[in-house]
Amino acid sequence: MPGRARAAVSAVFLVNGIVVASWAPLIPEIKARHGLGDAQLGLVLLAMAAGAVLSLPVAGWLVGRLGSDAMTSVAALGLCLALPLPIISPTVTVLVARLAILGAFNGTLDVSMNAQGAARPCSPGHRLTS
């Protein structure tokens, strides 16, 4: 059922956007809570980007090995579960680690949901092969 598969992939894209949009407004509160200056905040936020970029090759390998459908499900669940972790971080070091994890799930979800969306035929159980 291509229509249902397309709706499922669209829903995952929506979830990804909602999670990232939910994180962004909390940045000023986290900056104040940890007493970070602008430059320090920039370095802390770099952890999320680094986690995302470092996850990309692994995500591609996992999608090829386990399938885009399975990895999309795992990464979407992981991203949702990782969202509150930076918010409740007690120290800057823990914040950096948790942002890297959030970024890694975001990067993995990006690869897997795009692979799933590009898969032909468009079916929820379709596996990409390399």
- Which pLDDT belongs to residue 3? 76
Question: Considering the entire predicted model, what is its pTM?
Answer: 0.86
- Which pLDDT belongs to residue 67? 92
CA-CA distance, 91 to 51, in Å (whole number)? Answer: 18
Contacts of 97 (CB under 8 A, 6+ apart): 47
Torsion angle, alpha carbons of 40, 41, 44, 48, to 10: -150
- Which pLDDT belongs to residue 15? 93
Contacts of 47 (CB under 8 A, 6+ apart): 95, 96, 97, 99, 100, 103
SS3 assignment, position 20? helix
- Which pLDDT belongs to residue 83? 96
Mean pLDDT by groups of 10 residues along the chain of 130 residues: 77 93 95 97 97 96 93 96 96 98 97 85 52
